[in-house]
Chain A
Amino acid sequence: MMRNRVLMVSRSFGKAARRLRRHVKSLRNSSLFDEAFYRGQGPRTGWRSALTHFVLAGNDEPFWPNPLFDPQWYLTRYPDVRATGRNALVHYVEHGEAEGRQPNALFSPAWYAERYGLPSRAGALAHYLRIGRQAGVKPAASFNPQAYLDSRPDLAITLADAFLHRVRGGGPFVPKRDASPPVSLPAAEPETYRYIAPLPPTDLRERIAGLGEAPTFSVVTPVYNVPPRFLEAAVASVAAQWYPHWELVLVDDASTDPATRACLDRIDDPRITVSRQDRNGGIAAATNAALDRARNDYVVFLDNDDVLTPDCLYELARAIAETGADYLYSDEDKIDAEGVSSSPFFKPSWSPDTMMSIMYTCHVSCARRSLVAAVGGLRSGYDGAQDYDLVLRMTERANRIAHVPKVLYHWRMLPSSLAASGSAKPYAHEAVRRLKEDALQRRGLRGTVEPVKDMPGQFRVNYHPRPGTAVSLVIPTRNNGQLVQTLVASVRERSTCRDIEIVLIDNGSTEPETLATLSRLSGEGVRVMTDSRPFNYSALNNSGAAAARGDILVFLNDDMEVVTPDWIERLAGYAQVPHVGAVGARLSYPDGRVQHCGLVNLAHGPGHAFYRAERGPPRYYGRDTLEYDWIAVTGACLAIERTKFEAIGGFDPALPIAYNDVDLCFRLVEAGLYNVVCQTVDLVHHESVSRGSDVSPARLARLRSESRRLYARHPRFFGHDPFFSPNLHPNNVHFVPNPN
């Protein structure tokens, strides 16, 4: 009996050996096994030849036999092949290609053979790799290599490699353990912006009738010594509105220019009222006088030299009908004296922290008249920033705030106006500081209003943490003793906050140096936990958070270095603001370039804003300088109140490597909170950017899969970022405005 069994095993081994030899021969003849390429991915072949190793283990490992054959994709796509247990490439060579099966998601041997007149589908892939690729031909119906390169000027690859790049993921790779893969496109040369007015719909009347209770608008305009042609343009822009239910309330603030007065005298339109102040009382008083005369549901603020777009009131009415908003704002651009448009400001959706940083809602600004009345209208003493003050006070009371992502207002840029120069009216700067201090006081928040060094006239809020706030740093690590040492040292040496708990979670370090470092740190008051399970960023952080004692949790990568002394106070202060979820920091590479100053959720996926940009003047309305709200912040440095972290269930272990920080931030936004980046908190991220070229197919496949999982959980954020703008280039992290 025993003897028979031995014979059986021997016989089956003999069969297997013959099969292996046949498969090896088959692949060798096919020219589809590229040994150099295969070895370059680092398979552990041991004593076997690379080809033999691939035939035996290729189905279970992430290594591709050539730049276009994805074994895992093939087996997933063709479960009948997987069921046979046969090597994917062997099947492809012997049967699959002739049957028209694809080696990856894009290349169709049937299409290729047909297109280039090959006698058979069999051999199509080899033909492309050997001949077509070098010739730069189209490898697939939907792929044009030249167009691909044209669209990705950041890629230093040839035409021959375009398709390979596309098949293997088509983008730069995630830096190590930074869970947010960047989408990096250089700042493109933008086409010149030009405002193009839309055509009114042919069924405009029906659409307006379909709004239900159509809101009525009072456009309020204080007038003072404005050149008649600009005033006429402003009035004409109201008269040209598609939407019919409006009145224009003009209040002359005792203009001394006879031309202005004469211009007002000439106005003869029953929808327009003109009144005059007895004496010049300043813009706030004049606007209040106009508000007193306004009779309609909503108030729209129009400066006397600016222009509404013809669809302005129509779009506001639509937004009101859809959202019931109490306060609305739109995108805007600038026009010069001749009406030529430029400098569009494409804004984010309602962002309370951005609002405390900069008067971003600006124009057009529209509020329910009852709301304006409830807050007492404009306050005198804040001239130059009276509108900012009003919006802060109104938005504290508004139930709903809506953003219309369209340019509905042209702000005339004249040498004398604030639009032309932030320093043109220095008296306004002090008003800005005071109105923010007032806001903090009204809101019962502790903080300091600080001038922004690179943006004169702008002030940021440095929120102060509550006394006695305990802070824990949660830092997963593995075999990074040196970096951990640098991080801990920087925390201890540079932080002004002394009450910091440091929790290190060792994910199974094996290097003696690291183990020695961890041992030493453990003796120096650092809590070192061990969790040797397979790497799962979410699970590690969750276990660290559970063990930590702080009210504020700061999740850190182990390759960070603290720069800003009061970084903890600033992060914690923001984290304790009731409406704030996650708080991020500004991360730079050792060479000073931007690694992170906020995440944008682009059409291709999440990416770091201004990634790899050099330090320089503020970009896009201070987006990289001021405290804006963002859809997400990187998990490489993320602070959050423990109560909020626990309320949303912490990091999701189902996202073990990528996008877990994005998922956390998405959930915070879905819970009604806002994520903010403290641009004054600087840390150096010692991440090797050269890892960006490490585009292994397995990692890309995993990324793709995790990205899809992310958006399946958060479909409303698929291709959408409320804190970005649909009018900016959809796949450029540099906030490039679309040209129209």
Chain B
Amino acid sequence: MTQTLDLSDAPVDQPGARIAGACAGAKVVSFDVFDTLFYRLLPEPETVFDLVGERFGIFGFRDLRAVAQTAAFAEMHRKGEREVTLDGIYACLPALATPADVLKRAEWDFELLVLRPNPEVRAALETCRARGQTCVATSDMYLPLSFFEELFARHGIALDGVFVSADVQMTKRDDGALFRHVAEVTGAAPGEICHVGDNAFSDVQRGNEQGLRTLLYSPPVPVPTAFDPAAVGRGIQAAAVAGLARSQAFEPGRSLWWRHGFSYGGPATLAFLHWLREKAERDRLDRLLFLSRDGYTLHALWKSSVPAAYFHCSRISLTLAMIDEENFTDHLPLFLSGSDGLRLREVFDRIGVEPPGPDLLEPLGLDPATIFSPETRGAFAKAVVAWRWQILKVCRECRRGLHATCLAAGLREGDRVGIVDVGWGGSTQEGFAGSVAKMFDLDLRGYYLCLREQARCERPHLVMDSLIDESFGNTMSERVFAERVAVELFFSAPHDSVIGYRLRPDGSVDCIGDPGRGADPRAREIATEIDCGARDFVTRAEAFFRHLPVEPGAHALLGPLLRLVTAPEPEEAEALGGLWNFDAWGSSVEFRSYIARIGAGDDLVRGDGWPAGLAALRREASAVTPGNGRSSATG
């Protein structure tokens, strides 16, 4: 009796367990190769042809290659054969400047380059072999057996047999003859064979027809639709990025946030790194400082002759460091900024200052739990001013710690220093210039992922450069700025926002972090996972892209993130938007400020931080509202 197991909803306990478990008892386990035992680092197979064309400068090679394959099929039918071969295809290719053999070899090499063992299926294969089952690979493919042997050898995959349609001129798809051939060669009855493959027709239906047990393989998580070939388009650079970015779907046991870090944070990080390396060397920087927290992952991946350091600071710590008794009142707006809904105590907590007691508060009509509002703003301001000497002590400590931090980071008089931040208006650079420049004469430049349009007008005295520039379109920087909360999620760090410093007696510096108030308990883990995912992407991408005829540029690498933050799918908006109190500065135990959320208790929701996310959620909500055509029709 045959059975078909759909693995799409099976739990993933350990790599390969769900597949190996389903194959238990079979004498022979047969694995489909493409999109099952292996996956490609490309969104569609035909991109390999584009790579060949790019390598040899042949315009439209994909189409030529497709026509040749069609012709090869015709020739196959004419000869009464059952499968086309690579030789047969290239024999049908029109004469080009590059000999067909060279092109064929290039295709072979690119296939080898882009194919990666599927970790889950590979684990299942190893489990099955370990328990004595005969394991074979079974593929409908025009590539010859020798290709498969080279592929498996390259990745150290041991099999008991390899059955390729082009080699034996039998296929799975036409009549299941290849399955019969497997049974014959292995000496197993069809019912003793379990075949695992991703194709519902050729792998499952034809297998069942031949009396095999079959498993329909699907990746542990769906491949994001944004990486579907149709969405990616036919550009090689975008395809290469999408191909690698989507590969996370084949990795079992990864968290949602690792996957986001891999697919979106990773490519953007790599783009930023490439750009920074070019700028740092061109601008002959003495030192590059990756400001916390945005620069955490970037710094960890930095490789350049320009020395770099991860610089613990924030707009708050830098600004506090520049505040003294002479300019205190100039900075009063900072102390009160983003305070709506915060308790009085929280307004002080977030700058690391012990709040004043009732002796100071009561005459102002305040208590520690008084909520900041337009009505209480004046009293809050008075409390801040009255308590300024305590605040100034914190500012001085901050300045001392910043000075020591600068020395530890290697800053020296006269250095040309670059600082790296995600964006947006240069306020952090302003704080850096205003605080650090009082301690060191520096030639300071800021390097940003994105600057809002007004940034340079508002701060013309700062030297600033941005990766996202006019080449991304006139409105892109403003669009990204509007969605900055979502972008910042991908450039964070698994530590609290640094709001100050404390110099220890031995000269070392303790950074004072602000954990925020009412913070999402997942925040640190999410930052860790996104960081890990991004690092994994960059590591793999650097190894992969250097073998391509053209390395993906900034547009291709930033594409996935820009798409996500400006036009998310509803499920993406729900996942990211569900984070709350992400920004420690404006956080309070009084409320949850979501990145994007609708429909929760209104008294707890203040989130409008991610307009595109909210729009996606609203679209989805309206689509499922009773009475709406879609919801009533689809149930």
Contact = CB atoms under 8 A, between A and B. Distances in A.
Given A196-B356, A738-B389, A77 B443 contact: yes
B325 A730 contact: yes
A129 B280 CA distance: 37
B400 A739 contact: no
B157 interface: no
A6 B404 CA distance: 59
B507 interface: yes
Given A76-B441, A196-B357, A711 B403 contact: yes
A201 B459 CA distance: 39
A709 B414 CA distance: 12
Contacts of B407: 712, 715
B461 interface: yes
Contacts of A144: 330
Contact of A199 (B324, B356, B393, B434): B356
A730 B325 CA distance: 8
Interface stretch (A288-296, A462-470, A718-726): A718-726
Contact of B357 (A73, A77, A198, A705): A198
Contacts of A603: 324, 396, 399
Nearest to B398: A719
Interface in B399-421: 399-400, 403-404, 407, 412-414
A515 B434 CA distance: 50
Nearest to B416: A79
A381 B329 CA distance: 55
Interface in B375-404: 386-387, 389-390, 392-393, 396, 399-400, 403-404
Contacts of A414: none
Nearest to B368: A199
B503 A201 contact: no
Contacts of A738: 389, 392
A510 interface: no
A380 interface: no
Given A711-B403, A719-B400, A199 B355 contact: yes
B354 interface: yes
A740 interface: yes
B327 interface: yes
Contacts of A708: 413, 439-441
A418 B457 CA distance: 64
Contacts of B392: 730, 738
Contacts of B437: 105
Given A198-B354, A705-B413, A719-B403, A726 B393 contact: yes
Interface in A682-740: 705, 708-709, 711-712, 715-716, 718-720, 726-727, 729-731, 738-740
Nearest to B344: A199
B360 interface: yes
Interface residues of B, number: 43
Given A194-B359, A199-B356, A739-B389, A719 B396 contact: yes
B360 A141 contact: no
B524 interface: no
A4 interface: no
B386 A740 contact: yes
Nearest to A405: B393
A5 to B, nearest CB: 38
B187 to A, nearest CB: 69
Nearest to A737: B389
Among B357, B399, B443, B460, chain A packs the most CB atoms within 10 A around the CB of B460
A506 B394 CA distance: 48
A716 B357 contact: no
A108 interface: yes
A416 interface: no
B359 A199 contact: no
B357 A720 contact: no
Interface in B298-352: 324-327, 329-330, 345
Nearest to B440: A708
B505 interface: yes
A584 to B, nearest CB: 25
A740 B387 contact: yes
B355 A197 contact: no
Interface in A120-172: 121, 141-142, 144, 147-148, 151
B461 A76 contact: no
B507 A715 contact: yes
A96 to B, nearest CB: 13
Nearest to A707: B439
B418 to A, nearest CB: 15
A102 B461 contact: yes
Contacts of B329: 147
Contact of B503 (A77, A114, A151, A715): A715
A579 to B, nearest CB: 18
B505 A730 contact: no
Interface in A29-87: 73, 76-77
Given A148-B326, A730-B325, A739-B389, A718 B357 contact: no
A197 B359 contact: yes
B400 A199 contact: no
A141 B437 CA distance: 15
Nearest to A729: B325
A730 B396 contact: yes
Contacts of A705: 413
Nearest to A148: B326
Interface string A561-583: 00000000000000000000000
Given A105-B441, A196-B357, A740-B386, A114 B460 contact: yes
Contacts of B325: 151, 729-731
A197 B443 contact: no
B363 to A, nearest CB: 11
Contacts of B413: 705, 708-709
B617 to A, nearest CB: 34
Interface string B507-551: 100000000000000000000000000000000000000000000
Nearest to B414: A76
A361 to B, nearest CB: 19
A560 interface: no
Contacts of A719: 396, 399-400, 403
B461 A111 contact: yes
A111 B396 contact: no
A228 interface: no
Contacts of B461: 100, 102, 108, 110-111, 141
A110 B464 CA distance: 14
A74 to B, nearest CB: 12
Q: Which of B326, B387, B393 counts the most chain A CB atoms within 10 A? A: B326
A716 B503 contact: yes
Contacts of B327: 142, 147
Nearest to B441: A76
Contacts of A105: 437, 441
Interface of B: 324-327, 329-330, 345, 354-360, 368, 386-387, 389-390, 392-393, 396, 399-400, 403-404, 407, 412-414, 434, 437, 439-441, 443, 457, 459-461, 503, 505, 507
Closest 9 CB pairs of A and B: A110-B460, A108-B461, A738-B389, A151-B326, A197-B357, A198-B354, A718-B403, A715-B404, A199-B355
Interface of A: 73, 76-77, 100, 102, 105, 108, 110-111, 114, 121, 141-142, 144, 147-148, 151, 194-199, 201-202, 603, 705, 708-709, 711-712, 715-716, 718-720, 726-727, 729-731, 738-740
Given A197-B357, A603-B399, 16 more contacts: A76-B414, A110-B461, A111-B459, A111-B460, A111-B461, A147-B330, A194-B359, A603-B324, A712-B407, A715-B404, A718-B399, A720-B503, A727-B389, A730-B324, A740-B360, A740-B386
29 contacts: A73-B441, A76-B414, A100-B460, A102-B461, A105-B437, A105-B441, A108-B461, A114-B460, A121-B460, A141-B459, A147-B330, A151-B325, A151-B326, A196-B356, A711-B439, A715-B400, A715-B507, A718-B403, A719-B396, A720-B400, A729-B325, A730-B324, A730-B325, A730-B392, A731-B325, A738-B392, A740-B360, A740-B389, A740-B390
